[in-house]
Chain A
């Protein structure tokens, strides 16, 4: 089986030229103009942390939280890697915005028929065998496109070659059970605004732990409640029977008296 497509973002190579965002906006027909954070009109954005530029975008998780929380299944993880949103299904509950551990999905708040907006990993280009628009536009190789396994190997190679330059961590290999966007850095990731608590936290499992108990709750609960009903109502039946027997007795005695 072919591995999923991924991006390797080497923050040490990024010069902050914004070519990725420009290319992204052109590719997705979004209004032009530089934006400094993710919005409904910017699927990727450069953040600067003490002189280091960090590209933000959808992480295209291996087990996506958005796909697990959406009540109507508007998100799907495609085998090639992209996590895609289907606006025709969406009911607009915004649980995906609430749940995403990377704060990626953005909403068209001023639209009266709003959509979720986020990076689509250039799914159409991938289908044609092309790299993402951002990877193609990047002049320094800070964003490279490839197969996830290959890119992880490449990242390890870079760390091994220059251990003084990189910290020994690839962000995205373990985070939330793995993402399709991998990061290298020269400073600890928390200094770049990354959430570092997410290691091995496969988010959908948190809710699935509760949801998977439903069949037991329903079956055991149902039998239990029916049992209680059966016991308590049996008591009433017995009482009713006793009463009618008593009445019968009384009638009989009356009859005998006569």
Chain B
């Protein structure tokens, strides 16, 4: 118990430091501009905020549309118990992406211009619209939880009747913008390093988003099962593990075919920084989890499944950072490393996400289908943080 408490205060302090430094960085960002707060430059105009907060943020929230499609369109209802928390994380994820965008945009107060000033030739325009619409769709998909809480039966009925079209709309919007984040880079054929630049960028972005979305579903289930002391739907998660195997296999095959079509295989052996980073991304994020999760014993074992999902997520993040940062450095002839303020603000945003999720999970019927509704109620905010701290230990092991 004593150790528990120590660990708790430790993580409280860490969270406190993150929020405090994040707020200070926020102040500098909005009073002195991007130059004073970031390491961005004319040579390197997109950094950590685009690479991690936006590209990874949107991708990691892909569990929402994947699982919604599985449950409502493919009608595999046994996955329903984990749908609500997944939708909630997706919704929070998108809101945080928009928050991060406000930090990154040079003129954040004009963000609404995208609504009235159209340029349909711009990928960025399309992404902006999809993100806007999809965030609304996610809010509607999650709304039954809030409506249930306050016993508003009439709107609840209306929303329930809209479920199918809403889910279909969500899947379409996700398909569009998940892939379009890759299309953003189609315009820089001579800048992005050849290991990553391919006309198939949008397809790769889409397929990898689905696999990482599934990995996030597994991850979230683990985290919440610990935080809220509820059982783990191991059989469901094992099946999701299978989906990941398929998606990773598809992704790997496509990547190999693409490299061979572009005759880019020799690049894999060049002694360059990009080569190592590419191998890291493929090895950790695709090959390792593909092998691991193909083994039934690993897939059915909670630690094995967790490790597999974690690898997919790490590999995904490395991939997005490679495309947005590693792959652009050689051309720009500068090396970019984010400033401490860019990092602090990113960490603050992530921390906020965790906190809001646990609050929402505590006060709203998110785990409605949990085995025991009482058990689904967390034992307090402290426990949640504690649990988060423990999960970190697991990761280290």
Contact = CB atoms under 8 A, between A and B. Distances in A.
Contacts of B41: 109
B171 A214 contact: no
B45 A107 contact: yes
A112 B33 contact: yes
Interface string B48-76: 00000000000000000000010011110
B46 A94 contact: yes
Interface stretch (B87-95, B124-132, B147-155, B220-228): B124-132
Nearest to B74: A232
Contacts of A113: 106-107
Contacts of B118: 73
A76 B353 CA distance: 39
A146 interface: no
A26 to B, nearest CB: 23
A77 to B, nearest CB: 12
A218 to B, nearest CB: 6
A204 B106 contact: no
A163 B15 CA distance: 70
B113 A112 contact: no
Nearest to B187: A99
Interface in B105-122: 105-108, 110-111, 113-114, 117-122
Given A211-B121, A218-B172, A232-B73, A109 B107 contact: no
Contacts of B199: 206, 209
Nearest to A113: B107
Given A99-B187, A235-B75, A109 B113 contact: no
Contact of B176 (A68, A91, A106, A217): A217
B319 interface: no
Interface in A31-77: 39-40, 65, 67-73
Interface string A75-94: 00000000000000111111
B151 to A, nearest CB: 27
Candidate in B36, B73, B104, B190 with the most chain A CB atoms within 10 angstroms: B73
Interface string B15-31: 00000000000000011
Interface of B: 30-36, 40-43, 45-46, 69, 72-75, 104-108, 110-111, 113-114, 117-126, 128, 164, 168, 171-172, 175-176, 179-180, 183-184, 186-190, 199, 202
Given A101-B190, A109-B33, A209-B199, 17 more contacts: A67-B121, A71-B114, A73-B119, A91-B110, A95-B122, A95-B184, A98-B45, A103-B43, A109-B34, A109-B42, A201-B189, A203-B187, A206-B199, A210-B179, A210-B202, A211-B126, A228-B74
6 contacts: A72-B125, A89-B113, A91-B108, A91-B113, A95-B184, A225-B171
